[in-house]
Structures are given as C-alpha cells and as structure tokens.
Amino acid sequence: MTSSTTVVTGAGRGIGLAIAHELCARGHRLVITDVDGESAERAAAEVGGGAVGLEQNVREIESHRRIAAEAERLGPLSGWVNNAGVLFAGDAWTQTDDELAAIIDINVRGVMAGSAAAVDAMGRRGGAILNIASLSALGPIPGLALYAASKAAVLSYTTSLQGDLKHAGLPIRARALCPDVVGTAMVTDREKDEGAALLFSGPKPLSPDDIARTGVDLMESRKQIFRVVPRWRGALVRSTDLAPSVGLSALALMRRLGDRRQSKS
C-alpha cells in the first residue's frame, strides 16, 4: 500500500525542519522544499523515513503545482505546510523595493499558491494544510510593519479558505499557527537590525521543536482553525485593538526595552 505524503516548504532549517521531524515521527512521508536545493536535500537526509528534498522558489506560482505533482508520484498528498517566509525590520517607509516585493511574494503569494496547489491535489480525498502565520498577525508591530501585515494576510486567508472548503464540501482542514518569537536563525540574524527591537522585548524565544509539535497537533485538530502560542501573548496583543493609542504607547515602551537588549547583545 502506498503511503501518503506531506509537503513542507522552506524546511531546510528552523521551524520548517522541526515540523518535518515531527511529521516524520508521526508516520508521514515528507517532501521537503527550500530555495536552496542542497539544504533541502540535507534536511531530507537528516529527517529520514524516505523524505525527499527538492529545490523550490515559492515566489514562482507554478512551482507549487510542480511540487504537488512530485509528491503525488510518491504517494497521495495528504498534508501541506506553507512555512517558507522572510522577515525584514525597520521603519515601514524605509524598506527597499526588493524587500517589499519579497515579503509579499514569499509570505503571502507563496502561501496562497501553495494552498491552492494542495487543495487541487487533495480534492475530495481530503487532507490538511498548515500555514505558518505569527503572533504579529493579531495587532500592530512597529518596526516590523511589512512582516506583520503579511502574516495578518496569512491568517485572514486561512480562515477564509476554511470557509470556502466547507462551502464546497471538501474534507480539507485549513489551519494557521501564530507563534510568538521562535529561536531560529530568521530571528537571530536580525539581532542588530534597527526596527527589530520588539523581537527581543518579550520572554525567552520559543523552541522550534515545541512549535512543531503544536503545529502538527493543529493540523490534526478537527475544530480549531488557528492557534496562538502562547495564548496569553495573543490576548495581550489583541488588547491593542480596544484602544490603539494606548496599545501603541505600551509597544513603544517594549520597543525601548528591546533596543536596550539589542545593545547589550
């Protein structure tokens, strides 16, 4: 009997690689993609369990259909994790044209194209899609405006997608994971960046392995559409919607705390 397959994008390292490990431990066969093909192949070898590593630039819409077809050749596609993402820090108006294009193409369009390819492949057979959003999807994040906006789009798209799937009668679960800061290279690489202070203003970064377990649990959930990790941070960020001027003042204090921590690192 041919086993089913699950695709994880941007899984050469970080959260994506941790999710691939967790999925493999639960019996999934993986197709791991990364813009760096060699990283994808190394990750597949590390994960084991017959995992395959493929080069993919998620900015290319057609690439998602190609990856879905490759996965289907290995076994029926039953899972898809849109994890690939980028982060740029700084005042919103200072981001370069290339950065603006990249964050929309990768964080937003890549998620939409990946989800569409997954739905087309799974069809009435069913399956699960996990989109990696962020705590920043829930409220204003000064210094990370483009990133926050892109992740808010991911969350909105995922919940709307679930509604479309239900309306169409397709047994596919669309889920969004919204973690606080996770201890990965995407974060540590911004340690000295102006505007990234809020990344370093809160508690100790979360473990990629813990986030991976939560994410796979969410994929398997029959009811919960999105999950914030930790929940208390989600409630704190959402409170800014009640009184934006007060919330932004509190965020300004946190940003200064982050600035001090950055200067000491």
Q: Is residue 249 part of a domain?
A: no
Measure Cα distances from 223 to 173, 218, 220 in Å.
Answer: 9, 9, 9
Q: For residue 101, what pLDDT is reported?
A: 98
Question: Which sequence positions are flagged as catalytic?
Answer: 147, 151
Cis preceding-peptide flag for 142 (omega within 30 of 0): no
Look at residue 247 and tell me whether its pLDDT is greater than 90.
Answer: no
- Alpha carbon 162 to its chain centroid, in Å, reads 17
Q: Is residue 27 part of a domain?
A: yes
Look at residue 1 and tell me whether its pLDDT is greater than 50.
Answer: no
Q: Is residue 25 part of a domain?
A: yes
Q: Is residue 198 part of a domain?
A: no
pLDDT per residue as tens digits for the range 97-119: 999 999 999 999 999 999 999 99
**How many structural domains compose the chain?**
1
Confidence of residue 196 (pLDDT cuts 50, 70, 90): low
130 against 245, higher pLDDT: 130
Q: Is residue 184 part of a domain?
A: yes
Give me the mean pLDDT over the 38-53 stretch: 98
pLDDT per residue as tens digits for the range 206-240: 899 999 999 999 999 999 999 999 765 566 666 66
Give me the domain span that covers residue 232.
5-191+204-240
> Is residue 115 within 8 Å of residue 164, measured between CB atoms?
no
Q: Which of 139, 138, 176, 5 is nearest to 77 (CA)?
A: 5
Give me the mean pLDDT over the 43-47 stretch: 98
Q: In what order do the strands lie in the sheet with 52-55?
A: 52-55, 29-34, 5-8, 77-82, 127-132, 172-179, 226-229
Give me the mean pLDDT over the 58-86 stretch: 97
Look at residue 136 and tell me whether its pLDDT is greater than 60.
Answer: yes
Q: Is residue 34 part of a domain?
A: yes
Burial class (CB within 10 angstroms; exposed 0-12, middle 13-18, buried 19+) of 119? buried
Q: Is residue 99 part of a domain?
A: yes
Confidence of residue 182 (pLDDT cuts 50, 70, 90): confident
- CATH number of the domain residue 9 falls in: 3.40.50.720
Give me the mean pLDDT over the 61-90 stretch: 96
Q: Is residue 263 part of a domain?
A: no
Maximum average pLDDT range among 131-145, 187-201, 208-222, 229-243:
208-222
Q: For residue 183, what pLDDT is reported?
A: 75
Look at residue 82 and tell me whether its pLDDT is greater than 50.
Answer: yes
pLDDT per residue as tens digits for the range 65-74: 999 999 999 9
The rounded mean pLDDT for the chain is: 88
